[in-house]
A and B are shown apart, each in its own frame.
Chain A
Amino acid sequence: MHMFLTIFAGVPTTLLITVASLALGMLGGIPLVLGRRSRFRALRMVSRFLIETLRGIPPLVWLFLIFFGFGSSMTWMTALMASIFGLGLISCAYMAEIYRGGLSAISAGQWEAAEALGMNHRSVLSKVIGPQVFRVSIPAAATYGIGLLKDSSVAFTIGVTDILFRATAQSYQTRDALTPFLIAGLVYIIITIPSAWGSRWLDARLKNRVAR
């Protein structure tokens, strides 16, 4: 039981990394998706290139690059900050693709209707289309967030004291190489299952606030 509680104490750190990097991604995904759908070919290509690069490099390599690479000249950077920043960068790309799917789910008639009312492009996007894209994107974003929660376990490699880090420490201390990791797996499952229920509930509530 003591071992379980010790490992469970890593949950806040894991949640902090997940929530903070998802928030970064939700913000950073907006300019990326706007660039991806821009009228200008150059901008579209730059955004596409950025998205592919961010998604194409493993999270672990991003963390090492940021923490050991850039971090060596930025001494103020902690391992926790590096992992939030690294996973946040990757999330920007994934969220941009999720928003893109959401944008295409909003019918073209709404653009036309808003334009017919004399709204300019920017206010159609921010007042009519944008809010609905957020709602449509919630299920995919929640699925991504749950995946991110599990991906956040890579932070243990640079010394962030999350669930897996504590499990590893316990396995060194107790010389038991199996139980701590099984407990860690269990803890991840315990926290992902309510997250999945929560996202389904949120989705059901927001679904009827989208015009089809």
Chain B
Amino acid sequence: MSFFAAWDSWFPTLLNGLWVSVRVAGLSLLLGLPAGLLLALGSSTKRRPVRWLVIGLVELGRGMPALVMLQIVYFGLPSAGLTLSAFVSAAIAFALTTAAYTSEILRGGLQAVPAGEVEAAEALGMARRDTLRFIVIPQGVRIAIPPLMGFAILIFQVTSLAYTIALPELTSQAYSIGSSSFRYTSVFVLAALLYLAVTIPTSFLTERVENRLARHL
């Protein structure tokens, strides 16, 4: 019984931590997804210098671990004259990672739109920009929704890395309870259950959305 003994007293603290995690993940997605779409368009443009520059940026962003990105933003930027709070640093670092990863997911979605539709739009005399806006992007983004949801689950888990910059999210809260009570196993099991409470339902939802979208393609 002692394993669960202090769970009720830890729960509110951990729940606060979970809320911080959710907020960081939400803000990263909010900032990162539009940037990812821009990068996806940039990496499939016909202009070679633009395309290469964008592909280079994406490869840099994907090649660097999110944890390293976080250390650069939080510890490194102040020496370049830009000091940010732990919360903002985490959101920015994970938004950069999000942009790089989702650009590849979105590019896959955009490419999955049949070329015949683009040709048809051109034959109707639509401007390239309108084709992109009304034909390619709405369908491409829709195809990309299930993998994007999968990525959202990952970025939610990635927020645990913000423990290293002392952001009071779920993992840091659990760690500080653990280091004062020396009951690491118990507190981390509770923290893990809280993570699962978010990730498992989202994962099931992703599967349902995937099945539903597959019907219309």
- Residues on the B chain within 8 Å of A53, using CB: 196, 200
Task: Give the number of residue pairs across the A-B interface with Cβ within 8 Å.
Answer: 123
Point out the residues of chain B lying under 8 angstroms from A171, CB to CB: 75
Q: Which residues of A contact B171 (CB under 8 A)?
A: 58, 60-61, 64
Give the residue name and chain of the B residue nearest to A52 (CB).
B200
Tell whether A57 pairs with B184 under 8 Å between CB atoms, given A153-B68, A177-B79: no
**A residues within 8 A CB of B26?**
none
Task: Tell me the interface secondary structure of chain B in the complex.
Answer: helix
- Interface residues in B189-208 by Cβ distance below 8 A to A read 189, 191-192, 195-196, 199-200, 203
The reply to whether B188 and A69 contact each other, CB–CB distance below 8 Å, is yes
Number of interface residues of A (CB under 8 A): 37
The chain B residue with its CB closest to the CB of A193 is B63
| A199: interface (CB < 8 Å) | no
Give the complex CA separation of A182 and B199 in angstroms: 32
The CA of A70 and the CA of B163, in the complex, are separated in Å by 20
Tell me if B80 and A57 are in contact (CB < 8 A): no
Give bound CA distance, A167 to B64, whole Å.
Answer: 14
Q: Choose from B65, B175, B195 the contact partner of A188 (Cβ within 8 Å).
A: B65
Contact across chains for B65 and A150 when beta carbons are under 8 A apart:
yes
Partner of A164, one of B63, B67, B188: B67
Interface residues of B (CB under 8 A from A): 59-60, 63-69, 71-72, 75-80, 153, 157-161, 163-164, 171, 174-175, 178, 182, 184-186, 188-189, 191-192, 195-196, 199-200, 203
